[in-house]
Amino acid sequence: MSLYVLGINHQTAPVALREKVAFASESLAPALASLRGLADVHEAVLLSTCNRTELYAHTDGDGQVLADWLAAHPDAGNDVHAYLYRHRDADAVRHLFRVASGLDSLVLGEPQILGQVKQAWAASREAGALGGQLDRLFQQAFATAKRARTDTRIGANPVSVASIAVRLAQENFARLDQSSVLLIGAGETIELAARHLTDAKVQRLLIANRTLAHAQELASRHGGIALPLNEMDKHLAEADVVISATAARTPILHRQQVEHALRQRKHRPMLLLDLAVPRDIASDVSGLRDVFLYTVDDLERSIEDNRRSRREAAEQAEAIIELQTARFIEQWRASSQQQPLLQLRAHGENARNDALAKAKQQLAAGLPAEQALELLAHTLTNRLLHAPTVALRDAARSGDAELSRAVEKLFPGSDTGSRDA
């Protein structure tokens, strides 16, 4: 059996493809059930974020069935095969440890990914798709990520896609203390954006969400105004900056809506930051004059500055990951080799119990102790040696010398022939 991971991320595939293979939280359970139904797949974890979709599996196969399964996802198409990366065993372990530690993230060292990996692990456990092998792997990933963030400065001055987006708005578009910002959504990314905007003393903060209660809760913490999503159009023209990050499967902000808002604003420019995958803002909005639309892929330049500043810490974290990967693989291989030992011990225990039970019956029936002991030794020897003897005879007939060599290694110096003194 092998550990496999395959997937796509911000480094291998554009957002237009990533959004086609993204899994909403409510679709994880049926997707995991489908994965577990594949031939030779014993355990599975599905990680889906705005920057990656990855399948982790403990399987007997070569991983191709996993790639075909992902390509069969609605709208994905066969094109996904060209963008997939695949890792097996040690490489799969190393990859997960890097992901959990934030070393494979768009924003190097960002802390949100560890929580997302934990959510993926929990969803798999709840769906009954998690077994001992992947559970141990993910538990070790959590411990490795914690150590990487504790023992290096990879987590110093934590940043996120949300903080990069707010910084972009500050540095290249508007003074936030003189601007109105509309946040669409109420998840973790929007929560972080609201926090950064509050720190930047944004003049006015509007928060629109499909569930009004969630928007109200977020607005109360950050001094904002909550709106139901269906009233967003009434207030869109008030926003100098729009930051959107929902779990919607299709765009919620279209060209016609933005055009109408621009007319109301007398074409004062708007900055739109779409941090969602699938995208929240229709791509044709970028063709409008006086609109500056950025997706997560467009934040790469700002993110590269962060990457350079953290490179030394990243190298230290990589060293930790290499050590932890080697240790995990060593333990994993050792545990997988315990099965033959467990089978051998179980065989011996069964033989002992059967022989002892027969001897006790004979003693109870009045058989002398010496004869009962002789019967015990004879029965135990036959039970222990029967299966190996049959296997050795079959091997001899087929010309297979490997089993004979194994016996010589197991029982050195057990020559039954006579020797001269």
Q: What is the largest CA-CA distance in the chain?
A: 112
Q: Which residues pair with 244 in a beta bridge?
A: 184, 274
CA dist., res. 222 & res. 157, Å (int): 21
Backbone φ and ψ for 267, nearest 5 degrees, come out as 65, 30
DSSP conformation class of 345: H
Distances 354 to 350, 362, 387, 396 between C-alpha atoms, Å:
6, 13, 15, 29
Residue in 22, 28, 45, 50 annotated catalytic: 50
Contact 215, 209 (CB under 8 A): yes
Q: Which residues pair with 88 in a beta bridge?
A: 4
Contact 189, 245 (CB under 8 A): yes
- Report the Cα–Cα distance between both ends of the chain, in Å, rounded: 51
Distances 50 to 261, 274, 336 between C-alpha atoms, Å:
27, 11, 35
Q: 253, 256, 321: which is closest to 282 by C-alpha?
A: 253
Helix (H) or strand (E) holding 87: strand 85-88
Distances 33 to 5, 19, 27, 37, 38 between C-alpha atoms, Å:
17, 21, 10, 6, 9
| Torsional sign, CA 288, 290, 294, 298 | positive
Number of neighbouring beta carbons within 10 Å of residue 319: 13
Residue 127 bears catalytic tag: no
Which residue type, as a one-letter code, is found at position 262? L
Which residue type, as a one-letter code, is found at position 357? A
Q: Concatenated DSSP letters for 189-229?
A: HHHHHHHHHHHTT-SEEEEEESSHHHHHHHHHHHT-EEEEG
**Strand pairing of 2-9 and 52-59?**
antiparallel
CA dist., res. 328 & res. 326, Å (int): 6
CA dist., res. 21 & res. 88, Å (int): 21
Annotated catalytic sites, by residue? 50
